[in-house]
Amino acid sequence: MQSPLAGEGAYGFPVVQAKIRGKMLLPLARGRLGGGCCTFACTTDFISCTFLSESHSMKIPVLRVLAKLVPMLLLGGCGWYLYRYFQWPAIIALLGKTEVIWLLMGTLGGCTAVTVLRAWRWWLMIRTVNPQVGFGDVYLITGIVVNLAVVTPGQLGETLKIELLKRRITLDRTTGIGSFFIERVIDMVMVASFGMIGWLGQDLSRLGFASRPVVYMLGGIIGVGIVALVLLLCWPGQSKLGVFVRRLLEAGNQPTLWLKIIPISWLTWSCIALGWKLSLLSVAIDLSVPQTLWLMSVTALAQVFSLIPGGLGVSEVLVAKLLQVMGYDAAQAEAGALILRCFSVVMISFGLVHGLVWQRLYGWVSVRRQAV
């Protein structure tokens, strides 16, 4: 029987990298994924081999070492803080009183809505390049990769959805990366905008001076994101980068497309915020809308920039501190931080369920005609 990961892009990013650079003419024999490389290394290999030349990619190992070392130190520090300062007996008592209905509505409802909306947005973008692509394939791939990407640094594991879609249709990798890049820029701008709205809607005297650097960062993200989108649309240029940008625009050059994907993105993050609010309500933490938006935005950005899978440890400490600033006692705030971790558990479960459906339908075997 053919390997579940057979075909181009099936053996992890080191193999994809070799193929793109012309170092490997034939597929490798069946074996383990990428030679056992860690997720972050595979992801950075994929991005570096797609966007960088050989000379530039030689600089990646130094950055990769720093990108591994800093998150490890951060994770260790946050883990020590959780063990040393969290009030575990009181937290366990509060979690035992969780309103399960609110929790299920927040986690299951939120994950379902986000998966459907993310699949819809990506389908609209990919359909501009390949009108034959079906929503069902895009939904299954989104359900697998987007939900399981929570266990990858910075959620960069989402790039794997490009490889999965290549198994179903003939999709140019650069176009797929383009759609991913556009999605990521829009999401960053949307999250930062929600954070700014949440900050302005609260009692600023309670948040204190310490919140201002975060607000400056949010404003910077919004500005850089908008400038990046404008440059993509207006000045692709004639260089190699310009050629790449023009191929990005194949996934998003229609004005009507932008009028669709921006409201979908707004609705997606609104569903996430609502899911957070309902989940916190299950442990008697009733946040206002601005407070929820502020909490979600700051925590989501911290999870991405920390490069720790799922923001493990970082998000718990951050959420607990933010809830204490909002007026909740330490034990209740820490219980709220842990209850939000249920989102990650549900997302992973969603990804596994969609993976089983994919296996039942396609057997994990590439069906691209050129791979047969």
pLDDT digits (tens, 9 = 90+) for 152-194: 877 777 777 777 777 766 666 666 677 787 888 889 999 999 9
Please state the rounded mean pLDDT for residues 343-358.
Answer: 90
Burial class (CB in 10 A: 0-12, 13-18, 19+), 250: middle
| pLDDT of amino acid 290 | 92
What does the block give as tokens for 171?
Answer: 């999709």
3-state secondary structure of 282: coil
How confident is the model over 35-49, as pLDDT tens digits?
A: 334 444 444 444 444
| pLDDT of amino acid 105 | 93
| pLDDT of amino acid 10 | 39
Does residue 242 surpass a pLDDT of 80? no
φ/ψ of 84, rounded to 5, equals: -85, -40
With beta carbons less than 8 A apart as the criterion, state whether 86 and 255 touch. Answer: no
pTM to 2 decimals?
0.76
Instruction: Find the range with the poorest average confidence among 48-57, 59-68, 221-230.
Output: 48-57
With beta carbons less than 8 A apart as the criterion, state whether 310 and 300 touch. Answer: no
> Long-range contact list for 30-36, CB < 8 A, 24+ apart?
30/2, 30/3, 30/6, 31/3, 33/5
CA 303/CA 107 separation, integer angstroms: 18
How confident is the model over 138-147, as pLDDT tens digits?
A: 898 899 888 8
Does residue 83 surpass a pLDDT of 60? yes
Does residue 64 surpass a pLDDT of 90? no
Estimate to the nearest angstrom the gap between the alpha carbon of 298 and the chain centroid. Answer: 15
